[in-house]
Amino acid sequence: MNYSNISLIALIINLIINRGFFKIIKNRSALMKSGQAGMVRYGYFLMAANLYFVADFAWGILYENHQVQELFPFLYSDTVLYFAFMFITTLTWVGCIVTYMVKVIRRAKILLYVVWALFILALIYLMVNHFYPFLFSFNEAHEYIPGNGRHIAFALQILLYALTSVYALNVAAKAAKSEKIRYAAIGFTCASMGVFVIIQILDPKYPSYAAGLIIGICMMHSFVEAGEHEEKEVYDNIARGLADNYDVIYYVDVEDSSFISYELRNIYGEKDIQRAGDDFYAESLKNIPDIVHKNDLDLVLDFIDRDHMISALKDCKRISIDYRIAPDNKIFYVRMTARKTGDGRHFIIGIENIDAEIRREKQHLKALNTEKELARRDDLTGVKNKTAYNELEKSVQSNIDNGMDYLPFALVVCDANNLKSINDTEGHVAGDEYIKKSAMLLCDIFVHSPVFRVGGDEFAVFLRGSDYLNRVELMNKLRKTVRENQASGSGPVLASGMSDYLPDSDVRVSEIFDRADKEMYENKQSLKGAETL
């Protein structure tokens, strides 16, 4: 019964200290999807260890009664299970190691491939052992006899544990401080289990492997709890990031640039983006040209530079940029925001789709511009109104005040004759039509200059560019058309005056307007004189 006691105690200890981890098997699909494969594989290892403890416990009881003929089939079957579960614990243990040794995952996976090969070979030996005893046998008295294959299997296990231990301790020696404990724990646990396998070889009737297994489990328990706490911290940070409505989050180690990512919504189309890796910045340089719009490429590359990010986040809590991505030839805006975690050991880099926000802002700006434009338009004629003229006058006056007198211009002031008479005799509808035709005439003459309705029947034109250069010809054309309209009695009759800006003497825009207005009145009198002839 002493043999069984060790396995029973090991089973009870395992169930007590790891009771919470057995629940993860039920939720393994969700955990695997969320990137917590380590928890799942550790759960598999604990389940395999429990199966081994049960088989070992049963073996101790059955072997104490091996002389009972009726129990021998159960003893033999349990011995087969004993070896099978031993091999399964080795397989799941190495799977657990591979998961936790994330920094050297590609090389660590070689261990898993080797153990899978040995596991398959061991199962084959177990199947043929009944016919050709290789691992174990029983004599006529039903006494257990270890076979040469058993020694070979144990020797391979010892070699595997030894190589894993040396490898993990070697990695620990080179690892950063935060990773050193992880690899050291794996290395010492493997060494401990290897020692107990040696003891098991020396005394097959003592449950040394069960003792080594529970010691290894106890050593790993503290490490896994620490790892679970660290993973919880990671996912708490990610959860806080998701609360900011990020679509994709990258959790980047400041020291070594390793990262994991969590994608809530796919914004990259069919592009396959790595969810974990050793170098966030190298992965970004590889993926960015395929995702980011070519016109924003340099902007994003400068932002995602490691030195820039470290330097920028020394003085700021967070930094961000807006840019365009073009997955599957569909262009839309995203915002990348980077900040440090509370302990300063990681960057949280979130990316959110802001295309709808940008488009709303553009539409709002367009609406505002349209509204402003309408506020500066005369409702009747469609030309600019007095508000727009006052703004122009302020802008030009500011240029004059600041010595910017290198832009020549002239002002034309016009007044529609006979408007009061038309309103009185033909009505205001006819009067409004007369004003609209007056504005149209000015727009047709001064094609390249803004026309303003500054009063009921008053207009101003700001001559610039080619209209300024041709101002004399254009004024002659206007006055000729007016005289023709006056003679025919059809079309608007406008009195007009023009004045140039004189940089050497003019200090106020109003001075130029007044000169043009004075000339307009002179022209108005001239037109009235022509009517009386």
Residue 367 lies in a domain: no
Clarify whether residues 30 and 154 are in a common domain. Answer: yes
Q: What is d(CA 518, CA 127) in angstroms, rounded to the nearest whole number?
A: 118
392, 512: one domain: yes
> In CATH, what number is assigned to the domain containing residue 158?
1.20.1070
Same domain, 386 and 428: yes
Q: Give the pLDDT of the chain (533 residues) as one tens digit per residue.
A: 567 888 888 888 888 887 766 555 555 555 555 455 666 777 788 888 899 999 989 988 998 888 888 999 999 999 889 888 988 888 888 777 776 655 444 555 676 777 788 788 878 888 888 888 888 889 888 888 888 887 787 888 888 888 888 888 887 777 655 567 677 777 888 888 888 888 877 877 677 888 888 887 877 776 655 555 555 455 555 545 444 567 788 888 888 888 877 776 555 544 445 466 778 888 888 888 888 888 888 888 888 888 888 888 887 788 888 888 887 777 888 888 888 877 788 888 888 887 777 777 667 666 555 555 656 888 888 899 998 999 999 989 988 888 776 578 999 999 998 888 888 888 888 888 999 999 999 999 999 999 999 988 899 999 988 999 999 999 999 999 999 998 888 889 999 999 999 988 888 999 999 999 999 999 998 888 766 54
Within a domain: 57: yes
Write the pLDDT tens digit of every residue in 134-169: 888 898 888 888 888 877 878 888 888 888 888 888
Q: Say how far apart CA 342 and CA 345 lie, in whole Å.
A: 8
Give the total residue count for the chain. 533
Same domain, yes or no, for 13 and 156?
yes
Cβ contact 384:437 at 8 Å: no
Number of domains forming the structure of the chain: 3
Co-location of 198 and 50 in the same domain:
yes
Q: How far is Cα 79 from Cα 59, in angstroms, rounded to an integer? A: 7
Rounded to an integer, what distance in angstroms lies between the CA atom of residue 14 and that of residue 214?
Answer: 7
Token pair belonging to 145: 């006899």
In a domain, 280, yes or no: yes
Kindly report each contact of residues 515-520 with a partner whose C-beta sits within 8 Å and lies 24 or more positions away, as own/partner. Answer: 516/410, 516/411, 516/412, 516/413, 516/460, 517/413, 519/413, 520/413, 520/414, 520/415, 520/495, 520/496
Residues 158 and 58 in one domain: yes
The three-state secondary structure class of 309 is helix
Q: Are 154 and 200 in contact (CB under 8 A)?
A: yes
- Choose the final residue of a domain: 163, 197, 232: 232
353 falls within a domain: yes
Alpha helices by DSSP H, 259-296? 280-291
Q: How far apart are CA 171 and CA 136, in angstroms?
A: 38
CA distances from 388 to 248, 368, 375, 392, 457 (A): 48, 16, 8, 6, 17
Q: Side-chain half-sphere of 157: how many Cα atoms within 13 Å? A: 29
Is residue 226 located within the same domain as residue 248? no
Torsion (CA) 36, 38, 42, 44 in degrees, nearest 10:
70
The CATH number of residue 506's host domain is 3.30.70.270
338 and 398: one domain?
Answer: no
Q: Is 319 helix (H, G, I), strand (E, B) or coil?
A: strand
Q: Which class for 181: exposed (0-12), middle (13-18), buried (19 or more C-beta within 10 A)?
A: middle
Whether residue 526 sits in one domain with residue 425? yes
Answer yes or no: is 370 within a domain. Answer: no
Q: Are residues 450 and 400 in the same domain?
A: yes
237 occurs within a structural domain: no
- Whether 103 is in a domain gets the answer yes
Q: State residue 100's pLDDT score.
A: 63
Q: What is the pLDDT of residues 42-80, one digit of tens each?
A: 778 888 889 999 998 998 899 888 888 899 999 999 988
Q: Residue 405's domain spans which residues?
A: 376-532
Residue 86 lies in a domain: yes
On whether both 168 and 55 belong to a single domain, the answer is yes
Q: Do 197 and 260 reside in the same domain of the chain?
A: no
Q: What is the CA 158 to chain-centroid distance, rounded? A: 46
Looking at every residue in the chain, the average pLDDT score rounds to 80
Long-range contacts of 194-203 (CB under 8 A, 24+ apart): 194/157, 194/158, 194/161, 194/162, 194/165, 197/154, 197/157, 197/158, 197/161, 198/158, 200/154, 201/151, 201/154, 201/155
The last residue of a domain, from among 307, 327, 358: 358
∠ CA 509-511-512, rounded to 5°: 70
Report the CATH number that the domain containing residue 298 is assigned in CATH. 3.30.450.20
